Structure 1
Amino acid sequence: MPTDDTMQLVYYALLLVVIGGALLFELSGRGSKARRQLALWVVIFAGVTLVAKMWDDGGMSRQQVLADGRIEIPAGRDGHFRLDAQVNGETIRFMVDTGASTIALGPDDARRVGIDPDDLAYIGSALTANGEVQTAPVTLEELAIGDIVDRNVRAWVIGGDLDGSLLGMSYLRTFARVSFEGDRLILER
């Protein structure tokens, strides 16, 4: 099954082909005026789509995992820090949240990593910005960020509408150093 990175690469390659082809068509002067204008609108639409996708993803910047166990996470446009981690083999986008006690998976992300939220025992509760929610304890078989791999990681599945997942203090405490350098969050093992 293709990864999110592979699909994104295919998307950008196709977008480049569409934009490049439309520009060549327009600049060559071949075809009727209506076809050239249609090609130009395709280029404009593709460009707007690309910019919207980059804006939604927080730009092209992603975390950098360096060989010495150092992770650098640039701040997004909204000031939050987000990172991609492999959870049970699936890429999950986490928001780093120092206000969260633990790792909290939203129902959609839980399903993606092989956990059925409907089959869990919601025995806990958490107070979130959106009010109190029910929580169910789970164990993640594997959580990996680059070469940093942790096994049997405790987490909670949120029994409500959590858009995305949170990487809280229980996981951040596994790092020897958590610091800020300008607009970057630095995690070091």
Structure 2
Amino acid sequence: MSSNDFGNLIYLVILGAVLVFWVLVQNRGNLSRTFQNAAVWGLIFVGTIAAIGMWGDIRQTVRPSQAVFADSGRVELPRAPDGHYYVTLTINDTPVRFVVDTGASGVVLTADDAGRIGLNAAGLAYFSEAMTANGPVRTAPVTLDSVQLGPFIDKRVGAYVNEGEMEQSLLGMTYLQRFDRLEISGGKMILER
């Protein structure tokens, strides 16, 4: 601790003592109420410090993230609070978040995600059609130069860009079938190659 830090510490201790003395003098008729308020604020302060210290654990519980085990060729995707499994793939050097959809036959990108990875969604030929829960939508077939999930890199992956409104890109079976094992167990989806 430098002499400058030590001087600042002494200043803060004196300032704190003066403030405490002033509060006690102002509220000398109702000291029990003053101590109750001080205890409440102290607990709020301690609770805030504890929440900041435990934020990593809290975030993992509220929004769990995928785990990649490169040495064993395994990826674990935790079930999100909404019951779905989400995964972030790196497509053409850009991270894209997908909802894993075993009911979808292909990889389907939103127009926004297609734009982020360098595809001009407006200039694509939407000549194919896909059936969704909301009815048929037009799609444009595309080829993704590079798709990476942890240590797994795939080149020239076929996909579609959805012309309609879609909240999240879908990771369907044409990509999932590249894995030797797909298992859902204990709140996790496990993918292995």
TM-score (norm 2): 0.69
Match of 1:64 in 2: 67
CA distance in 2 between partners of 1:184 and 1:144 (Å): 20
Match of 1:133 in 2: 137
Letter in 2 for 1:61: P
- Asked which structure has the greater CA Rg, the reply is 2
CA distance in 1 between partners of 2:18 and 2:131 (Å): 63
Deviation at 1:129, TM superposition (A): 1.7
Percent identical pairs in the alignment equals 41
Distance 1:147 1:29, change over 3 A: farther
Deviation at 1:123, TM superposition (A): 1.1
CA distance in 2 between partners of 1:131 and 1:94 (Å): 21
Written as runs of structure 1 = structure 2, the 5 A alignment for 1:83-162 is: 83-162=87-166
Letter in 1 for 2:67: Q
More helix as a share of residues: 2
Provide, for residues 93-140 of structure 1, a one-character-per-residue CA deviation record: whole Å limited to 9, x for no partner: 000000100000000000000001101011111111222110000000
Match of 1:176 in 2: 180
Structure 1 outlier segments of 4+, above 4 Å: 28-31
Question: Contact between 1:58 and 1:76, CA under 8 Å: does it hold in 2?
Answer: no
CA distance in 1 between partners of 2:177 and 2:94 (Å): 23
Distance 1:69 1:132, change over 3 A: same
Across the two proteins, how many residue pairs are aligned to each other? 150
5+ residue gaps in structure 2?
1-15, 20-40
TM-score (norm 1): 0.70
